[in-house]
Every structure is written in C-alpha cells, then in structure tokens.
Chains A and B, each alone.
Chain A
Amino acid sequence: MSINFSTSIGGAFFANPIFTASGCAGSGKELSHFFPLTSLGAVVTKSIMIKPRSGRATPRMAETPSGMLNSIGLQGPGIDLFLENDIPWLRDQGARIIVSIAGESVEDYAVLARKLRNVSGISALEVNISCPNVENRGQVFACHPDTAAAAITAVRRNIGGELPIIAKLSPDVTDIALIAESVITAGADGLALINTLLGMVIDITSMAPKLSQKTGGLSGPAIRPIAVRAIYQVRAAFPKIPIVGMGGVTNGRDAFELVLAGANAVSIGTATFGNPMAAIHIKNELEELCQARGFSSFSDAVSYAHRVEE
C-alpha cells in the first residue's frame, strides 16, 4: 500500500514533499549525477542576486559539533546568466523548480521579481530575506517586521500572475511569529523556516576567528530543535499558511519531526554535503514512516503534533 505523498505550497503542486534547500544544491547539476532531479519534490536553487557575485574569501567554512558554519556570501552568476543557463537546464531535466532570490535593497527584490515574472517552468519563488551573510549596513531584512514586509511587498507587486511567494525567515529574532505575520500580510503565500543562525568559531591555535568574515551561518543537526520550535510556533499562530521546513534534517525521522510540527514540505541542506543521496534516502524513509504511523495521506501528518486529544 502506498500513501498519497503529494503536497502543495500556495497553489503549487509537488509530487512529494522533499526539496533541496537553497544554497545546498547549486542549481542541481552536481546532484543530477547521483539521481534524477525528478525524484525530488522540487529543486530550490541557490539564492540568486541581480549581479554576479564572487562571494567571500576563504576560509568560508568551519565544521562544528553536529553542524557547520558557512560564509559563502551568495557567490553566483547573477540573474541574467542564471536565467540563460540554469533555468533551461533544469527545465530540460523535468525538475520542479523553486527559484530563490536575494537582494541588498528593496529595489533589488522588485527588479528580481520583474526578471522572473514571465519565466516559464518555475513553480514558486523563495524570497531569501534572512541570509545573515549579506552586507546591508548591518541590517538583515528578516530581523525586523517592517523591512521583511517591504521586501515581500516589492516582490508581490512585481511578480504578477499566480507564482507563489515563499518568504524565508531567520530564526535570529525574538518573535518569529511576529515576522511571519508581517510577511503574510505583505502577500507571502508560504514561509520557509528556518535559515541558518549566526555563529562564530575562534581557532585556538591562531587565536583568531576561523572564518575570513568572522561570523557565519550555523546549519546541520545542531539547529534542528530550533527549526522544530520555530515551525511549531508559526504553525500554532497560522494554522493554514504553507510552511517549507528545514534545519538539520538528516534522515526520515528528522523530516517527520518537522512535518509533525507543521511543515508541508521539508528541504534538505547540509545533509547533502555529507551524502549526495541524502534527500532521496530521507524521502523514502519519510514515506515509510508516515505509513508506519498510519497516515494514508502525507497531508494528514502535517501539524499532527498540534492535535488536541479528545
């Protein structure tokens, strides 16, 4: 017996709820060497900006207990080359595509939305307003309700049509439900929870920060309980909003935990660095686990930890 494993995010349909996490799979080319991208619910592409970006100097990475810090700095080719090369390639693979965008100003988000509005073959837009690596006079859009809303409003006004907008939020805030409320009011159709947390490692031999940028985003199993908490809190506040959950998911059990907390889909990030097949293993294990717990449909398991026992 198989279960109905499909899911939807703001009107976009996906055959299964396992996605890549932006920045952890490039545009899918490397992973396609290990499995067909059609076996994923969606490929979420690395956050793209308007112009080409070199990213940061090395060292960009530090392994931490059950996690890692990164300060890649959104290295990428810029939106024009991305649309010319990556999107046609992904379409040829038959992959479901969620494009992730990142900007340094409200106007950047507006420009990116206009560039994407007439591109065919895209299922949804992830708006990365929470990347802690981007210089913005020390500000991060996602850390204040007004600036978070401003970025989402810019995308909403310029994207047109039916393309769902997923706002990716930072857990580095006092009240994540407040930020969620703000971006939902601004027109977000869904939320991606959670981005990395800002962290730091000091090398005790050199007695200096390990990363060239000093701080970096913490990811991996170390942050999973924070993801579960954030998803659970936002789900409790917004029973209907679609949530793409992520944060340290390494196996089917972890994915199921995020689903029970309220995730309608689960993105796989850092686990892919340890195992290129991670997303596929997690997909299979999650499906088995949903079945073993007696769910005939994946959507019945979503938010199940919120149920009130009679």
Chain B
Amino acid sequence: MINSRAVQISAEIISNKKVGAYNHMVFAVGEIAANCRSGNFVAISVGGSSSSLILRRAFAIYRASLRSDGVGLLELVIAPQGSGSKWLVAQDSGDRVDLIAPLGTAFGIPKEPINALLVGGGYGSAPLFSLAETLKARGCRVDMVLGASTAGKIYAPLEGKRSVNSLTITTDDGSAGIAGRVSEVLPALIKEHDVDVIYSCGPMAMLEAITVISQQADVLHQCSVEESMACGIGVCMTCVLPVEGDDGVIRMTRSCIEGPVMDGNKVLWNRSREIPDGVWGK
C-alpha cells in the first residue's frame, strides 16, 4: 500500500542553492518532515498550471528536519537534467510547489550496531547522508563510497562527511578520488571494514553490479532503485521491475509502492527490454 503518512501540500521554497552540478533546495513542509525516513521520496508537480509537463517528478529526500522555530523542513538535491527538474531549480525562495510526501519505502535500520557500507552513484548519494546519521546514532560503523562520471557530479557536502567513518570517491575520468567505478573498490572495502549491510542508491547498472558483489561476499544489500515514474502514488504502473516476493513469486512490482528501497537480492536485474522468464503472468 501507499505510504500511510503521505500527504499532498503546497510547500514554500525556503532556499535554492547551486552546489556543483546540482541544486540543494529546502521546502517548508510542516508536520510532514517528522514522518520522512531515509529512502522515502517526494513527488512534485512541475511547470505551473498551464504547463505542457503533465507528470509529477519524483525526488529522493536528502534530509528532513525541524528548524529551531519548529518549522518542518525537507531538503532535496536536484540534478537539473530534464525539463521538469530544470523548471524546479529555476524557482525562487518564496515560491510554492505542489508536493506529496513521504512516499515509498525507507531503508531498514538495524536494531543492533552493525558495520554499514553506503554506496551512492551521482545524485544517488542524496538519501545516504541522513541514513548515515541515523546509523551513526544507532552505534553503527558507517563507511561511504560515492562514484560519478566526473568530480563535479560527486555530491558530498561537508556536513554529510562528518557522519561517516571514511569516504571513498571514485570517478570514471579520474578527476577526483580513484579512477574507476564504485564496484571496483567495494570488495576490498567490504573485507577491510567487515561490512554486514550495503545500502545503495544510484543508476540501475550500479545497483546490479553491487548485488553481484554483495552475493559473493554474503552481505545484505538494500538498494534504492530508479525507474521512471508517471505518478509516484501507485496508479500508473510505469515504474515496475521484476521482484521476488516473500511467497517466492516474481512479479512486476511498483518501485513507488514496494520501493524505492528493496532487497537487492530479490530484484531480477533486467535490461533486456523483455519480461524475464518466470515472471508471474508472462
């Protein structure tokens, strides 16, 4: 079912700052902030009332907090790639947007202190910093790997870095950190930090690669998947991917309702543009 705490509101933009290749935006969202968990996302209406952009845009929540005066804040990191996100980052403080939050599943937080490895690709690092804080508060060891094509696309704010024990950066072009992909540094880090759980967010190819590594190393893998959505609330059936359920049946599963955070080992990673064999109802 849809996140039971999801609410649709008109949210005021409190601030909008360019950070590298991204925009960090803060919205006043009232009581919603207290109900947001790391991994949840928001769906925002873009383009204004006469826009030709008719579909909502989904964004992972970077952080949700209470300001000292009690105002609930929601922070997003936006990559202005498409026409919708470009419109959003062009809005000013004081403007309002139609926003539904919180949506989707959240990262599972262990009851016991564990060793966690957080892996983000590009703006996929967005939900990982609040997750790191939560895990730290539970006494976990938290190591982080962030990868991107180039240095400008690594999103790693100073305050975020404080909540991790170590930060490893990889870039495809070698312009920052280690040249290469995140998957290349993971096996060594898993061993070095005796990792129990990998938390990941980023492009699907990266999540697939991490799933293979997590299976080889026999560690749990919670990933936040990225399938394009039309509605974000479970009615359009656009954002599906093949996932094995608790009953062992593989179904085309909505990433907006039963995701975005999923058990990586239960996802049938598939980029064939065909429904894989064994999926229910194929």
Contacts of A273 in B (CB 8 A): 54-56, 230-231, 235-236
Q: Assess whether A70 is in contact with B238, with CB atoms less than 8 Å apart.
A: yes
A275–B281 touching, CB < 8 Å = no
Which residues of chain A come closer than 8 Å to B235, judged between CB atoms?
A: 24-26, 30-31, 272-273, 276
* Interface range for B: 35 or more
Residue in A65, A67, A75 whose CB lies within 8 Å of B240: A75
Is A51 located at the chain interface by the 8 A CB criterion? yes
With contact pairs A68-B54, A273-B55, A274-B55 given, residues A55 and B2 touching in the complex (Cβ less than 8 Å): no
Q: Quick check: B53 and A63 within 8 Å, CB to CB?
A: yes
* Residues from chain B with Cβ under 8 Å of A56 in the complex: 275
Give the residues in chain B near A220, CB-CB below 8 Å: 54
A75 lies within 8 A of B252 (CB): yes
Measured in the bound complex, the distance between the Cα atoms of B241 and A65 in whole Å is: 26
* Chain B 232-282 residues near chain A, CB threshold 8 A: 233-241, 251-252, 257, 270, 272-275, 279-282
Knowing A275-B98, A276-B233, say if A30 contacts B2 (CB, 8 Å).
yes
> What size tier do the contact residues of chain A reach?
35 or more
A contact residues around B8 at 8 Å (CB): 34, 275-277
Q: Which B residues touch A272, using CB under 8 A?
A: 231, 235
Task: Verify if B100 is at the interface (C-beta below 8 Å from A).
Answer: yes
Kindly supply a per-residue 1/0 record for chain B positions 85-105, scoring 1 wherever the CB is within 8 Å of any chain A CB and 0 otherwise: 000000000000010100000
* A-B pairs with beta carbons under 8 A, tally: 119
Q: What are the interface flags for B220-236 relative to A under an 8 Å C-beta threshold, 1 for contact and 0 otherwise?
A: 00000001101101111
Does A52 lie within 8 Å of B281, measured CB to CB?
yes
Q: Give the residue name and chain of the B residue nearest to A76 (CB).
A: B281
Given A54-B280, A275-B98, 13 more pairs with CB closer than 8 A: A26-B234, A29-B234, A34-B8, A51-B281, A55-B237, A57-B274, A60-B238, A61-B230, A63-B53, A63-B230, A68-B230, A70-B230, A75-B240
Between A and B, 19 residue pairs with Cβ closer than 8 Å are: A26-B234, A26-B235, A29-B2, A33-B1, A33-B4, A53-B281, A54-B280, A58-B228, A58-B238, A60-B238, A66-B54, A72-B236, A75-B281, A270-B54, A273-B55, A273-B230, A273-B231, A274-B56, A275-B45
Cβ-closest 9 pairs across A and B = A52-B281, A273-B231, A212-B273, A54-B281, A61-B238, A30-B234, A66-B52, A53-B281, A54-B282
